[in-house]
Amino acid sequence: MVCEQKIITCLLVEMFTGIIEKIGRVCDLRKDQDNLEIVIESAISNELKIDQSVAHNGVCLTVVRLGEGTHTVTAISETLNKTNLAKLRIGDLLNLERCMQVNGRLDGHIVQGHVDQTGICIELSEKNGSWEYTFSYDPSLGNITVEKGSICVNGISLTVVNSKENSFSVAIIPYTYEHTNMQNLKIGDMVNLEFDIIGKYIARLTQKVL
């Protein structure tokens, strides 16, 4: 029984749900050779601990320093090259989520905090109380979406609508709009995309069979 619990714990290390806890504000950016130190001010910063993993716009980063109401994380060049964190400016808002607790509810879907690729917002429209965003992405990397499937956009667990080969749309309810940085998203902005882990495994297995 103890072994089974250890295995379950290992499987859940650095797992997220895509349910955003708080919005953080970038208050400083510091270059350190090829790395970027990001200082974030947020309502949960004082609750964090050094070496804790937190998803920032869907990117799992380690807390390396704490301040009064702030925390600092480091993004290495690999992360900067594959996410939208390289485009951060002081004052920008970040979606924050701490790791899921072992005894917690999986309210969103399984999110690893490992961004697969970036996408671009190509359409945005208000739908009488909700908002619809359409994102394009490069399909040559092998990632796919399916109608009513899950997708993680800037760390937010969302449901896919209007799935196409190189684009998809999501519908945003008022609560999500008000409590994430979707409220500031504009056409042409870059977002971090993490595709559904189950879909990725099935796609890879299918490629091997073929």
Residues 78, 122 within the same domain: no
Judge whether 107 lies within some domain. Answer: no
CATH number of the domain where residue 79 is located? 2.40.30.20
pLDDT tens, N- to C-terminus, the chain (210 residues): 333 333 333 344 578 989 999 999 999 999 999 999 999 999 999 999 999 999 999 999 999 999 999 999 999 999 999 999 999 999 999 999 999 876 666 677 888 899 999 999 999 999 999 999 999 999 999 898 999 999 999 999 999 999 999 999 999 999 999 999 999 999 999 999 999 887 777 777 776 655
Q: What are the backbone dihedrals phi and psi of residue 182, each rounded to the nearest 5 degrees, phi first?
A: -60, -25
Domain count for the chain, please give it: 2
Judge whether 11 lies within some domain. Answer: yes
C-beta of residue 170 within 8 angstroms of C-beta of residue 150: no
CA distance 199 to 146: 9
Residues 94, 122 within the same domain: no
Residues 6, 42 within the same domain: yes
Judge whether 203 lies within some domain. Answer: yes
Question: In angstroms, what CA-CA distances link 164 with 14, 68, 81, 172?
Answer: 30, 45, 25, 19
Domain range holding 133? 117-209
CA distance 149 to 200: 12
Judge whether 106 lies within some domain. Answer: no
